[in-house]
Amino acid sequence: MNAPAPIDYSRLFRLDGRTAVVIGAGSGIGREAAHALAAQGAHVVVADYSRESAEATAAQISELGGVAEAYELNVLDDDAVEAAAERFGTAAALVFTAATNVRKRMDDYTLDEFDRVVNLNLRASFQLIRRFGARFAANGGGSIIGFASIRAQVVEPGQGVYAATKAGLVQLAKTAAAEYGPQGVRVNVVAPGVVETPLTAQIKANDEWYGAYAQKAALGRWARPDELAGAVVYLASDASSFVTGSTLTVDGGWTAIDGRFTPPAC
Protein backbone atom coordinates (compact mmCIF):
# COMPACT_ATOMS: atom_id res chain seq x y z
CA MET A 1 0.00 0.00 0.00
CA ASN A 2 1.31 3.42 -0.93
CA ALA A 3 2.12 5.81 1.88
CA PRO A 4 -0.17 8.85 2.18
CA ALA A 5 1.05 12.11 0.74
CA PRO A 6 2.79 14.46 3.17
CA ILE A 7 0.41 16.69 5.09
CA ASP A 8 0.38 20.42 4.49
CA TYR A 9 -0.22 21.54 8.06
CA SER A 10 -1.10 25.07 6.98
CA ARG A 11 -4.22 23.65 5.31
CA LEU A 12 -5.04 20.92 7.79
CA PHE A 13 -8.50 22.26 8.56
CA ARG A 14 -9.30 23.80 5.18
CA LEU A 15 -12.27 22.48 3.21
CA ASP A 16 -11.86 24.36 -0.06
CA GLY A 17 -13.56 22.65 -2.99
CA ARG A 18 -15.60 20.37 -0.71
CA THR A 19 -19.30 20.25 0.03
CA ALA A 20 -20.64 19.80 3.56
CA VAL A 21 -24.28 19.02 4.27
CA VAL A 22 -25.45 20.29 7.66
CA ILE A 23 -28.88 19.07 8.78
CA GLY A 24 -30.45 21.16 11.50
CA ALA A 25 -28.51 24.22 10.34
CA GLY A 26 -31.43 26.60 10.76
CA SER A 27 -30.57 27.28 14.39
CA GLY A 28 -28.36 26.44 17.36
CA ILE A 29 -25.37 24.17 17.01
CA GLY A 30 -26.20 23.32 13.41
CA ARG A 31 -26.19 26.96 12.36
CA GLU A 32 -22.83 27.60 14.02
CA ALA A 33 -21.39 24.45 12.45
CA ALA A 34 -22.54 25.64 9.03
CA HIS A 35 -20.84 29.01 9.57
CA ALA A 36 -17.61 27.36 10.71
CA LEU A 37 -17.46 24.97 7.77
CA ALA A 38 -18.11 27.79 5.32
CA ALA A 39 -15.36 29.86 6.94
CA GLN A 40 -12.96 27.00 6.14
CA GLY A 41 -13.93 27.15 2.48
CA ALA A 42 -16.66 24.51 2.25
CA HIS A 43 -19.73 24.85 0.07
CA VAL A 44 -22.38 24.34 2.73
CA VAL A 45 -25.79 22.82 2.14
CA VAL A 46 -27.88 24.39 4.88
CA ALA A 47 -30.59 21.79 5.47
CA ASP A 48 -33.44 22.22 7.93
CA TYR A 49 -37.05 21.27 8.51
CA SER A 50 -37.85 24.98 8.23
CA ARG A 51 -37.13 26.36 4.77
CA GLU A 52 -37.23 29.87 6.18
CA SER A 53 -34.62 29.09 8.84
CA ALA A 54 -32.38 27.37 6.28
CA GLU A 55 -32.56 30.36 3.98
CA ALA A 56 -31.74 32.72 6.84
CA THR A 57 -28.59 30.79 7.74
CA ALA A 58 -27.54 30.52 4.09
CA ALA A 59 -28.02 34.27 3.69
CA GLN A 60 -25.86 34.96 6.75
CA ILE A 61 -23.07 32.81 5.33
CA SER A 62 -23.28 34.51 1.95
CA GLU A 63 -23.12 37.95 3.56
CA LEU A 64 -19.87 36.90 5.23
CA GLY A 65 -18.38 35.82 1.90
CA GLY A 66 -19.08 32.11 2.19
CA VAL A 67 -20.90 29.80 -0.20
CA ALA A 68 -24.13 28.19 0.94
CA GLU A 69 -27.46 26.95 -0.35
CA ALA A 70 -30.66 26.31 1.56
CA TYR A 71 -32.38 22.94 1.42
CA GLU A 72 -35.64 21.97 3.07
CA LEU A 73 -35.52 18.51 4.61
CA ASN A 74 -37.77 16.57 6.94
CA VAL A 75 -35.57 13.79 8.33
CA LEU A 76 -38.65 11.84 9.39
CA ASP A 77 -39.60 11.42 5.73
CA ASP A 78 -37.70 8.40 4.41
CA ASP A 79 -38.22 9.38 0.78
CA ALA A 80 -36.92 12.87 1.47
CA VAL A 81 -33.81 11.49 3.18
CA GLU A 82 -33.20 9.16 0.24
CA ALA A 83 -33.58 12.05 -2.19
CA ALA A 84 -31.16 14.19 -0.19
CA ALA A 85 -28.59 11.40 -0.09
CA GLU A 86 -28.95 10.93 -3.84
CA ARG A 87 -28.57 14.64 -4.54
CA PHE A 88 -25.66 15.28 -2.17
CA GLY A 89 -24.00 11.88 -2.18
CA THR A 90 -20.77 13.33 -3.58
CA ALA A 91 -20.37 15.67 -0.61
CA ALA A 92 -17.30 15.36 1.61
CA ALA A 93 -19.16 15.60 4.91
CA LEU A 94 -22.56 15.16 6.52
CA VAL A 95 -23.38 16.77 9.86
CA PHE A 96 -26.72 16.20 11.59
CA THR A 97 -27.86 17.84 14.80
CA ALA A 98 -31.67 17.56 14.83
CA ALA A 99 -33.01 16.14 18.09
CA THR A 100 -35.80 16.46 20.61
CA ASN A 101 -36.36 15.64 24.26
CA VAL A 102 -39.30 15.07 26.58
CA ARG A 103 -38.07 15.43 30.15
CA LYS A 104 -40.32 13.10 32.12
CA ARG A 105 -39.77 10.20 34.44
CA MET A 106 -40.36 6.84 32.86
CA ASP A 107 -43.64 6.22 34.69
CA ASP A 108 -45.04 9.43 33.26
CA TYR A 109 -44.00 8.88 29.64
CA THR A 110 -46.64 8.15 27.04
CA LEU A 111 -45.81 5.83 24.17
CA ASP A 112 -46.54 8.66 21.76
CA GLU A 113 -43.84 10.72 23.48
CA PHE A 114 -41.50 7.73 23.41
CA ASP A 115 -42.05 7.31 19.68
CA ARG A 116 -41.54 11.03 19.02
CA VAL A 117 -38.15 11.09 20.75
CA VAL A 118 -36.96 7.77 19.35
CA ASN A 119 -38.09 8.53 15.80
CA LEU A 120 -36.26 11.84 15.53
CA ASN A 121 -33.18 11.08 17.60
CA LEU A 122 -32.49 7.48 16.61
CA ARG A 123 -34.55 6.29 13.65
CA ALA A 124 -33.82 9.40 11.60
CA SER A 125 -30.14 9.14 12.51
CA PHE A 126 -30.11 5.53 11.35
CA GLN A 127 -31.61 6.53 8.02
CA LEU A 128 -29.19 9.42 7.51
CA ILE A 129 -26.13 7.37 8.39
CA ARG A 130 -26.93 4.45 6.15
CA ARG A 131 -28.28 6.43 3.18
CA PHE A 132 -25.40 8.90 3.09
CA GLY A 133 -22.92 6.25 4.16
CA ALA A 134 -23.74 4.11 1.16
CA ARG A 135 -23.44 7.09 -1.20
CA PHE A 136 -20.17 8.26 0.34
CA ALA A 137 -18.77 4.73 0.12
CA ALA A 138 -19.67 4.52 -3.56
CA ASN A 139 -18.01 7.87 -4.21
CA GLY A 140 -14.69 7.29 -2.51
CA GLY A 141 -15.33 8.29 1.08
CA GLY A 142 -16.46 11.08 3.33
CA SER A 143 -17.06 12.09 6.93
CA ILE A 144 -20.34 11.59 8.80
CA ILE A 145 -20.74 13.52 12.04
CA GLY A 146 -23.69 13.01 14.37
CA PHE A 147 -24.51 14.69 17.65
CA ALA A 148 -24.90 12.50 20.70
CA SER A 149 -24.76 13.90 24.25
CA ILE A 150 -23.16 13.36 27.61
CA ARG A 151 -26.48 11.60 28.31
CA ALA A 152 -25.17 8.68 26.27
CA GLN A 153 -22.79 8.15 29.19
CA VAL A 154 -24.33 9.68 32.31
CA VAL A 155 -28.00 10.16 33.15
CA GLU A 156 -30.38 11.73 35.62
CA PRO A 157 -34.08 11.22 36.38
CA GLY A 158 -36.28 12.30 33.50
CA GLN A 159 -33.69 11.67 30.78
CA GLY A 160 -34.23 7.95 30.16
CA VAL A 161 -35.57 7.91 26.61
CA TYR A 162 -33.36 10.75 25.39
CA ALA A 163 -30.31 9.09 26.93
CA ALA A 164 -31.18 5.77 25.32
CA THR A 165 -31.41 7.36 21.88
CA LYS A 166 -28.07 9.09 22.28
CA ALA A 167 -26.38 5.92 23.49
CA GLY A 168 -27.95 4.16 20.52
CA LEU A 169 -26.52 6.78 18.16
CA VAL A 170 -23.04 6.19 19.56
CA GLN A 171 -23.34 2.48 18.80
CA LEU A 172 -24.79 3.10 15.34
CA ALA A 173 -21.83 5.33 14.57
CA LYS A 174 -19.36 2.69 15.69
CA THR A 175 -21.07 0.05 13.58
CA ALA A 176 -21.22 2.32 10.55
CA ALA A 177 -17.53 3.13 11.01
CA ALA A 178 -16.78 -0.58 10.84
CA GLU A 179 -19.03 -1.25 7.85
CA TYR A 180 -18.11 1.75 5.70
CA GLY A 181 -14.51 2.21 6.82
CA PRO A 182 -12.98 0.04 4.06
CA GLN A 183 -14.55 2.42 1.52
CA GLY A 184 -13.01 5.49 3.16
CA VAL A 185 -16.05 6.67 5.11
CA ARG A 186 -15.43 7.92 8.62
CA VAL A 187 -18.30 8.08 11.14
CA ASN A 188 -17.99 9.89 14.45
CA VAL A 189 -20.17 11.66 16.99
CA VAL A 190 -19.78 14.80 19.06
CA ALA A 191 -21.08 14.58 22.63
CA PRO A 192 -21.85 18.02 24.05
CA GLY A 193 -22.59 18.83 27.65
CA VAL A 194 -25.14 21.50 28.43
CA VAL A 195 -25.45 24.02 25.60
CA GLU A 196 -27.59 27.12 25.40
CA THR A 197 -29.97 26.13 22.60
CA PRO A 198 -33.76 26.06 22.14
CA LEU A 199 -33.71 22.43 23.35
CA THR A 200 -32.53 23.55 26.80
CA ALA A 201 -34.89 26.52 27.17
CA GLN A 202 -36.83 24.67 29.88
CA ILE A 203 -33.70 24.45 32.03
CA LYS A 204 -32.55 28.00 31.41
CA ALA A 205 -35.93 29.27 32.62
CA ASN A 206 -35.26 27.78 36.08
CA ASP A 207 -32.44 29.68 37.82
CA GLU A 208 -31.68 26.91 40.33
CA TRP A 209 -31.60 24.24 37.61
CA TYR A 210 -29.51 26.42 35.30
CA GLY A 211 -27.00 27.20 38.05
CA ALA A 212 -26.67 23.58 39.13
CA TYR A 213 -25.82 22.52 35.60
CA ALA A 214 -23.29 25.32 35.26
CA GLN A 215 -21.49 24.28 38.44
CA LYS A 216 -21.36 20.61 37.43
CA ALA A 217 -18.96 21.38 34.58
CA ALA A 218 -15.28 21.84 35.41
CA LEU A 219 -15.39 25.20 33.64
CA GLY A 220 -18.33 26.31 35.77
CA ARG A 221 -20.60 27.39 32.93
CA TRP A 222 -22.72 26.29 30.00
CA ALA A 223 -21.40 26.05 26.45
CA ARG A 224 -22.34 28.40 23.66
CA PRO A 225 -23.40 26.75 20.37
CA ASP A 226 -20.35 28.17 18.60
CA GLU A 227 -18.07 26.27 20.99
CA LEU A 228 -19.14 23.01 19.33
CA ALA A 229 -18.25 24.23 15.83
CA GLY A 230 -14.53 23.51 16.17
CA ALA A 231 -15.23 19.85 16.83
CA VAL A 232 -17.29 19.68 13.65
CA VAL A 233 -14.57 21.32 11.55
CA TYR A 234 -12.00 18.93 12.99
CA LEU A 235 -14.05 15.83 12.20
CA ALA A 236 -14.94 17.08 8.71
CA SER A 237 -11.37 17.96 7.80
CA ASP A 238 -8.14 16.12 7.06
CA ALA A 239 -7.07 16.87 10.64
CA SER A 240 -9.09 13.81 11.68
CA SER A 241 -8.21 11.57 8.74
CA PHE A 242 -7.49 8.59 11.03
CA VAL A 243 -10.38 9.17 13.42
CA THR A 244 -13.49 7.03 13.08
CA GLY A 245 -15.91 5.25 15.38
CA SER A 246 -15.09 7.79 18.06
CA THR A 247 -17.01 10.04 20.41
CA LEU A 248 -15.55 13.51 20.79
CA THR A 249 -16.77 14.81 24.14
CA VAL A 250 -17.14 18.59 24.36
CA ASP A 251 -18.67 19.04 27.80
CA GLY A 252 -16.52 21.50 29.72
CA GLY A 253 -15.29 18.65 31.93
CA TRP A 254 -18.76 17.48 33.04
CA THR A 255 -18.03 13.76 32.68
CA ALA A 256 -14.52 14.12 34.12
CA ILE A 257 -15.77 15.14 37.54
CA ASP A 258 -16.84 12.58 40.16
CA GLY A 259 -19.84 13.98 41.98
CA ARG A 260 -20.96 17.47 42.92
CA PHE A 261 -18.93 17.91 46.12
CA THR A 262 -15.38 19.12 46.50
CA PRO A 263 -13.93 17.51 49.62
CA PRO A 264 -11.41 19.30 51.88
CA ALA A 265 -7.76 18.75 51.06
CA CYS A 266 -6.16 15.88 52.96
Active site residues per annotation: 162
All residues at 6 or more sequence positions from 133 whose CB lies less than 8 Å from its CB, including other chains: 144, 176, 179, 180, 185, 187
Distances (CA, A) of 117 to 33, 138, 160, 165, 179: 23, 31, 11, 8, 26
Residue 197 CB partners (closer than 8 Å, separation 6+) = 27, 28, 29, 225
From CA 174, how far away is CA 168, in angstroms rounded?
10
Q: Exposed e or buried b for every residue in 246-260, given b needs 16+ CB within 10 A?
A: bbbbbbbebbeeeee
DSSP, collapsed to helix, strand or coil, labels residue 74 as coil
Contacting residues for 129 by C-beta, under 8 A, at least 6 apart: 144, 146, 172, 173, 176, 187
Question: What pairs with residue 94 in β-bridges?
Answer: 21, 144
Helix, strand or coil, per DSSP, at residue 186 = strand
Helix, strand or coil, per DSSP, at residue 40? coil
For 190, counting Cβ atoms within 10 Å of its Cβ (0-12 exposed, 13-18 middle, 19+ buried), the class is buried
